[in-house]
Amino acid sequence: MDRRQQKTRDAIFAAFNGLLSEKRYSQITVQEIIDRANVGRSTFYAHFETKDELLRATCVDLFDHVVSDHLSKELTHDFSKSGGGADSTITHILYHLRDNRKNIACLFTSDSGELFMRYFKEYLTDVFRDKLGSEIFANREVPADFLLNHISCTFVETVNWWIRHDMTETPEEIERCFLAVIRPVLESDRTQEVMQ
């Protein structure tokens, strides 16, 4: 994507996020997004087929660089030397949620919340599948997709709880709580094998 296209995309995201902080998702029209972003209708549709697609892209755009191979130091955090493991990826996602708390709170609590959470969960499922490694999901009593869904849903609800508590805990504290909850699930099959 060239610089001009990225600038247009950023303007659309900014317009959409601004509107989300003012009104319900269902009340936002594509025309309002276009007007606020100061782009043409054909330009909007060249980037996004629908408003729902824009919502999905908002989720992806917010987190895509988190799993990038080339992380750089950012204003509120530095994961450039983290190695990209599951723990650091989870904490990195939490930092981005906190840094974008106004928009995230709007997305989670508005009528777009259910749709955003579905997109967020789909994104997380891919991240957890990649970051946890296939060996974690092998030889389980439950299917890998079931376990991935459970982990992703737990993370989404963890974030939901964090938002409802005004994000007073640090990303590191939330990451520790989340891992404390899922670690026994990930280790339970191994424990059963040892006990048999």
Parent domain of 10? 1-48
Q: What is the pLDDT of residue 35?
A: 96
Question: Where residue 79 sits, what CATH number does that domain have?
Answer: 1.10.357
Residue 53 domain-assigned?
no
As for how many domains the chain has, the answer is 2
What CA–CA distance (Å, rounded) separates 106 from 112? Answer: 8
Does 135 share its domain with 182?
Answer: yes
Residue 18 domain-assigned?
yes
Give me the phi and psi of 22, to 5 degrees please: -105, -30
Does 26 share its domain with 66?
Answer: no
Q: How many CB atoms lie within 10 A of CB 74?
A: 14
Residue 103 domain-assigned?
yes
Does 145 share its domain with 167?
Answer: yes
Q: What is the pLDDT of residue 11?
A: 94
Task: Of 35, 52, 53, 34, give the one whose Cα is nearest residue 43.
Answer: 34
pLDDT in tens, 157-168: 998 899 889 999
Does 44 share its domain with 62?
Answer: no
Does residue 195 have a pLDDT over 50?
no
Give me the phi and psi of 192, to 5 degrees please: -65, -40
Does 109 share its domain with 175?
Answer: yes
Does 144 share its domain with 90?
Answer: yes
Q: What is the average pLDDT across 115-130?
A: 84
What CA–CA distance (Å, rounded) separates 91 from 44? Answer: 33
Question: Where residue 23 sits, what CATH number does that domain have?
Answer: 1.10.10.60
Does residue 185 have a pLDDT over 50?
yes
Residue 158 domain-assigned?
yes
- The per-residue b/e assignment along 173-185, b for 16 or more CB within 10 angstroms, e otherwise, is ebbeebeeebeee
Does 77 share its domain with 158?
Answer: yes
Listed residues 15, 30, 48: the one ending a domain = 48
What CA–CA distance (Å, rounded) separates 161 from 168? Answer: 11
For 119, the 3-state DSSP assignment is helix
Q: What is the pLDDT of residue 34?
A: 96
What CA–CA distance (Å, rounded) separates 40 from 8? Answer: 10
pTM over 0.85: no
Does 43 share its domain with 65?
Answer: no
Does 155 share its domain with 137?
Answer: yes
